[in-house]
Amino acid sequence: MRFSRRRRSRDGSAAAVPSGAGNDEAAFENRLIDAAVRVLASSPQASVEDIARRTHTDPREWRVRFPTREDLIERAVMRGAHRIARGAFLEDGTPAEQVALLVGRLWDDQEPVAPFITMGVRTHLRIPVEEALAPARALFADAVARGAADGTLRADVSPRAVAWLIEQSMMDCLEALARGLMEGEDGRVFAIRQALATAGLSWMDAAAVTAAVERRLS
């Protein structure tokens, strides 16, 4: 994994260096963040210098954009949260199936970087992340409201509260995965069942819905 860009020579003139991102600073920075997320997902304690070494980049490139490791983590976590919110949508199906499918899609997106995600959202970033995820949470609330109306999902708590609880259950499952507590468990299946139970299904009904949507997810 190598990155390069235009650098200044010792006399101050610009020296052209091939770069996959060309002269587009935003694209180049996004490539750096992508690389950092991959490194931190497998090595959560990696320093900025470790990331630079493993990506064959100049540490100074990182320090200019991310003065501290915490700055890098914050930028990456918030970028990921906004991306999730933009890409979330409800598919065809019953309200319970819609909840299950959305959880499944989000899980597939986040499972590879579970250690990194939990490292960020269990800090001061929790509230900003929740705010960024509001569009996805609104989709959960919409499905829950329709399920409550037809009697298939719980109606004892507001749909917005249930949607928030579903989001938290996903975070808990990602943390369990990151901490190695899901040994022998299928993480996606577990996360979907937990979300459906939170939405009011019995464990047997949750298992049945999960089995049905797993065929679509696969």
Which of 24, 29, 22, 26 lies closest to 57, judged by CA?
A: 29
- Alpha carbon of residue 54 to chain centroid: 23
Residue 205 corresponds to which amino acid? D
- pLDDT tens, the chain, 218 aa long: 555 444 433 333 333 334 444 458 888 888 899 999 889 888 888 999 999 999 888 888 898 899 998 899 899 889 989 999 999 999 999 999 999 999 999 999 988 888 777 777 777 888 898 899 999 999 999 999 999 999 999 999 999 999 999 999 998 999 888 888 887 679 999 999 999 999 999 999 999 999 999 989 98
In a 13 Å sphere around the CA of 99, the CA atoms on its Cβ side amount to: 37
- pLDDT of 95 reads 98
Ordered structural domains, the chain, with CATH: 7-67 (no CATH), 73-217 (1.10.357)
Question: What's the one-letter identity of residue 57?
Answer: T
Task: Give the number of other Cβ atoms within 10 Å of residue 143's Cβ.
Answer: 27
Length of the chain: 218
Region at 154 (left for phi over 0; alpha for psi -120 to 50; beta for the rest) = beta
Are 110 and 174 within 8 A, CB to CB? yes
Helix pair 69-87, 134-150: axis angle to 10 deg: 40
Q: How many Å apart are CA 211 and CA 189, to the nearest integer?
A: 8
Residue 124 in tokens: 């001061």
Cα–Cα dist 182/137, whole Å: 25
Reduced to 3 states, what is the DSSP secondary structure of residue 7? strand
